[in-house]
């Protein structure tokens, strides 16, 4: 399904998606645009964590992300992801949050990159490498009827630091700092669903303990190797899922003895379930779905 948005914000749907062949140059891949050349994007999501994707460069990607991520005046998304050539991997990924800031890594976003390049015919390989600002990640694609249904990502090593006790909004908060290529603060709580996420999230994101900002995860251990997690993402706010946050939460839970190493950990997010495995050496694998939403053409 194709989705078009005109300059005045009016929109209509058209049941048309052009076929793509391996090696076919993507639209506007050279990054040059004029007023007569609309910007072609694909909206995708991993467990409701949704981004707009461009195969090729985009002029002023931070500005485009801010403009189009608006859920009332734009297309609506948690940000913009560019899929680019790489000299050191099969593809390169750049991530821009809804506020225009650039992120180092996005677990849900990178799964969608795997689906994008396979489903659209830019590769026929089911094992891919993707260059990110947090290093090269390896993806293993699970396909059915010629389409990617799930993706496993080798996320690298999680660095779990000793817990910190902070003051935020008049409350004492104990968090476990974790790096999974980007920074996280994992807070274990008896009931993640009862947390005032929209109030505490921004206070933690901008806390003096995290000069560059941080993603905040509120996590409840609900069973054997089972977690419930809600997230405030740096630069985007409340999202339905965060892949790196799920990995950080699982790593913190293993370090605290709440979950087992070398076992599948089910992380239940607002958008669905991710499966995370934390090895004894700290390396992390994440597996979850990726889905297409629509094709978009918007004014450049």
pLDDT of 31 reads: 53
Out of 92-101, 162-171, 272-281, which region has the weakest mean confidence (pLDDT)? 162-171
Give CA 124 to chain center in angstroms: 23
Q: For residue 300, what pLDDT band results from cuts at 50, 70 and 90?
A: confident
Please state the rounded mean pLDDT for residues 144-163. Answer: 96
Closest CA to 229 of 221, 219, 239, 238: 219
Please state the rounded mean pLDDT for residues 59-78. Answer: 95
Active site residues: 106, 242
Provide the sign of the torsion angle of the four alpha carbons 136, 267, 95, 90, taken in this order: positive
Rounded Cα distance between 112 and 149, Å, is 10
Which tens digit of pLDDT belongs to each residue from 18-58? 444 444 555 545 555 445 589 999 999 999 999 999 999 99
Closest CA to 95 of 73, 110, 85: 110
Between the CA of residue 88 and those of 49, 131, 137, what are the distances in Å?
27, 7, 11
What pTM value is reported for the model?
0.83
pLDDT of 12 reads: 39
pLDDT at 17 over 60: no
pLDDT at 163 over 50: yes
The domains of the chain, with CATH numbers, are 2-153+290-298 (3.10.310.10), 159-281 (3.10.310.10)
Which tens digit of pLDDT belongs to each residue from 80-109? 999 999 999 999 999 999 999 999 999 999
Rounded Cα distance between 132 and 231, Å, is 22
């Amino acid at each position: 399904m194709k989705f078009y948005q005109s300059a005045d914000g009016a929109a209509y749907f058209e049941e048309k998606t052009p076929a793509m062949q391996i090696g076919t140059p993507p639209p506007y891949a050279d990054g040059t645009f004029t007023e007569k050349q609309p910007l072609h994007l694909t909206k995708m999501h991993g467990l409701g964590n949704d981004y707009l994707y461009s195969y090729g460069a985009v002029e002023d990607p931070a500005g485009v992300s801010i403009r189009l991520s608006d859920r009332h005046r734009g297309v609506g998304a948690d940000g913009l992801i560019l899929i680019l050539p790489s000299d050191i991997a099969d593809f390169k990924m750049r991530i821009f949050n809804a506020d225009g800031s650039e992120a180092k890594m996005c677990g849900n976003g990178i799964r969608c990159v795997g689906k994008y390049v396979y489903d659209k015919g830019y590769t026929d390989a089911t094992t891919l490498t993707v260059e990110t600002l947090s290093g090269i990640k390896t993806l293993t694609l699970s396909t059915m009827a010629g389409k990617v249904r799930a993706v496993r990502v080798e996320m690298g090593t999680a660095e779990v630091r000793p817990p910190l006790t902070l003051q935020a909004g008049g409350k004492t908060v104990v968090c476990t700092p974790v790096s999974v290529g980007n920074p996280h603060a994992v807070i274990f709580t008896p009931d993640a669903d009862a947390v005032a996420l929209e109030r505490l999230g921004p206070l933690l994101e901008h806390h003096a303990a995290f000069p560059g900002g941080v993603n905040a995860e509120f996590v409840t251990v609900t069973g054997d190797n089972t977690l419930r997690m809600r997230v405030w993402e740096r630069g985007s706010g409340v999202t339905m899922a965060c892949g790196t946050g799920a990995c950080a939460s699982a790593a913190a839970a293993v370090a605290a003895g709440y979950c087992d190493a070398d076992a599948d950990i089910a992380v239940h997010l607002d958008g669905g379930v991710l499966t995370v495995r934390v090895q004894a050496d700290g390396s992390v694998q994440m597996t979850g779905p990726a889905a297409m939403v629509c094709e978009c053409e918007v004014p450049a």
